[in-house]
Structures are given as C-alpha cells and as structure tokens.
Amino acid sequence: MVRADTAVCCLIGHPVGHSLSPLVHNAGYEALGLNFVYLAFDVTEIKLAMDGMRGLGIRGAGITIPHKIAVMKYLDEVDSLAREIGSVNTVINEGSHLRGLNTDYDGAFKALEEITPVEGKRAVLLGAGGTALTLATGLKRKGAYLTILNRTREKAAGLAERVGADAYGGLDDLAAISSADILVNTTSVGMWPETGETLVPRELLHPGLTVFDVVYNPLRTRLTAEAEAAGGKIVHGYKMLLYQAVVQFELFTGHKAPAGRMEEVLVGALEGRR
C-alpha cells in the first residue's frame, strides 16, 4: 500500500512503457514487505529529471535509453567503473547528492561468474556496441585473453584499442571460438522475431565452452540451445537483466534482494510476452 511516507524509486528513460523494471522491483518490495514503490517516468529532458529527483527526494533511479550517457553531467559523482564504461544506468540520491553507477556491469559478471571464472580464460566477444563495451571492459579487468569480433571490423578495432583487447577481427574470424573458453554474444542476432538466426556455426561449439548470450527474448536462443547440445555451459541473457536489478534493489533499499521471487516475476513476464 502506498502511504505518505513511502520511499519512491523509479525508471527514467524514453520510452519506458514496455519496461519490466517496475514489475520486478515492486515484486521484490512486496516480498519483503518494504514501504517502497517503483515507478516509470517517460523523460525527454534528463536535466529536469535529475533536478526533480533532488527536489522530490526520489531515493534511486534506473536510467535507460537514451539517457545513459547524458545523465552523467548532472550528477555530483560518477563511480570510476561507470566513467570507464562511459555510461550510467543507476542513480542513488544520498541527501540530494546524486551518485551514478553501472549495475549492467555488475549484473553481467554476476551472471557469468556464477558459471565460470574469467581470469586466464580465452574469451571471444561478438559485437562492438554499448553492451560489448561493458562486457569487454570487465573481461579485460578480470584477466581474460580477449578477442573482439564484429560484423564491422573497424568497430571491433576501435573497441579493442579502447579496452586493451588482445585481438580483434571480423565475422570471418569466428574460428577463434573453437579454442575459446568463453563466448559472449552482445549482438542482437537471434532476438525475436528472428529466433532462427545465430552468428556461430554449430561446429565451432564444444564442451569446454561457456556461452553467454545477452539476448533475453527468447529466453532460450538458438545459440544457447546449440551450445548446450554441444556439451557446453550457458548463461542466459535474462540473468544479466535480473542481476542488475538485484544490485539496484540492494543499493536503493539496503536490504538483500529476494532474487528468487524477482526471477520468477521476470521470467513469467518474458514468457508471457509472446
């Protein structure tokens, strides 16, 4: 029940109508009986939203497209990792002091590292966009030998230089996967409705490979299904979504998140979408 003293958290983006964040966070509050509510605001002027957050005492905000970069200049402090990645997806309001963080990074590595360690592993990353930057930064920080492959080779080169990757190439260099320990797909290939698509020929998959596909719609992609059939381990994309919300929840409320309940609600909603 929303009351006069209910703490408010929110999502800020444009558009936000299809976001599952309110559902997942509110299910968590309800499970723990917390006097919190999570709303979604469709915002075009991010500066005004940050002023509003201070003025209204909004406890925490998830930041999504198109504000993840622009929001940084309206904050009092940006966490060093978020600065390195160049994007903020979470803002915490500590007595009008706004601090920006990136829980996409935390979510991605919590999901990956519950399946495999990263240090010393040979990792191949597909893609060179924003999600690729987040994953590539972590893979290098955590001591992987990193190869970045992308359809547009020059973008792979640019990302490789930025994060200090060990090698890069185009999609004609996919053979690197056959000797890799970790494969991360950050491209949208395989996403609904093109669920029959994959960038990775089946014969390159093998039992020693952990495949993390950031695509979460469908929950099970052709790539993860084929990786599993080849005897490898898999990390589903929705886990990144879930764990970034879990980290936000804990930052906003100070309570350990009911991850099981949040997962149930997230998976149920993703399944119900089609």
**Interface residues for ligand ATR in 160-199 (CB under 6 A)?**
186-189, 199
Q: Which among 179, 161, 116 is positioned nearest to 143, based on CA atoms?
A: 116
Residues contacting 80, CB < 8 A, separation 6+: none
Tokens 């973008």 label which residue?
155
Active site residue 68: yes
Q: 21, 131, 210, 224: which one contacts ligand ATR (CB under 6 A)?
A: 131
Report the residue number, 132 or 144, with the smaller CB distance to ligand ATR.
132
Give the integer Cα–Cα distance in Å for 201 and 171: 11
Residue 129 makes contact with ligand ATR by CB under 6 A:
yes
Question: Minimum distance from CB of 189 to ligand ATR (Å)?
Answer: 5
Stretch that binds ligand ATR, among 30-38, 127-135, 141-149, 252-260 (CB under 6 A): 127-135
Label each residue of 21-67 as H, E or C.
HHHHHHHHHHHHCCCEEEEEEECCCHHHHHHHHHHHCCCEEEECCCC
**Interface residues for ligand ATR in 137-166 (CB under 6 A)?**
150-152, 155
Question: Minimum distance from CB of 34 to ligand ATR (Å)?
Answer: 31
The set of catalytic residues is: 68
Which residues bind to ligand ATR, rule: CB under 6 A? 127-132, 150-152, 155, 186-189, 199
